[in-house]
Amino acid sequence: MLYVGSLRKEKGPFFLLEIAKYMPELNFVIIGGDKRKVQYIKELSLSKGIKNCYVHAYIDYKYVPYCLMEADILIMPYLKTGELIDSMSPLKMFEYLATGKPILASDLSSIRSILVHKVNSFCLRQKILLIVSKRLGKYYLYLLSKLTLFLEMLLIQLNNIPGIKEQKVF
């Protein structure tokens, strides 16, 4: 699971640590921030006994697409706090969409017009995501990624059947 972006609290990197704690079988990768913030998150995760969270400082923008393509699931764990959270339109969202990878995002009104739950992403409230991660752990996200792959393959097959026009199936 990959997050690329700012390490400001409202962007959700600390929330990812909470999720990672309940899903030790999954690897969480956080890329962004300066060395001081990265070190702080590393120390915080170690102090909480979290061993499946890897943090790296900002990387050159030209390498970001390569990182995104290596991930199984891309995450936008924004918290519903901060001045701009209700009016933002993050570039990250469009970069994530361009990969075709499953996106797990916070359900925020500012991105709901682009990210549609169960269509091009899975949008969940933080509280729900935390509860699910505690109860289902790795199985939830594994099934989520397999379901997305299945739906993509089904749509390809439907579009290859003569007489069926491309239409919204789900």
Judge whether 49 lies within some domain.
Answer: yes
Residue 142 lies in domain: 2-159
Task: Return the SS3 of 118.
Answer: coil
Judge whether 170 lies within some domain.
Answer: no
Which residues sit opposite 75 in a β-bridge?
104
**pLDDT the model gives residue 36:** 95
Q: Tell me, what CATH number does 119's domain have?
A: 3.40.50.2000
pLDDT band at 169 (very low <50, low <70, confident <90, very high): very low
The span from the CA of 48 to the CA of 43, in Å, is: 9
Judge whether 168 lies within some domain.
Answer: no
Judge whether 169 lies within some domain.
Answer: no
Averaged confidence pLDDT in the chain: 79
**pLDDT the model gives residue 170:** 39
The count of domains in the chain is 1
pLDDT band at 163 (very low <50, low <70, confident <90, very high): low
Could you tell me the pTM of the whole model? 0.73
Instruction: Give the residue ranges of DSSP H helices in 30-113.
Output: 35-47, 64-70, 91-99
Judge whether 43 lies within some domain.
Answer: yes
Q: How many CB atoms lie within 10 A of CB 48?
A: 13
Judge whether 165 lies within some domain.
Answer: no
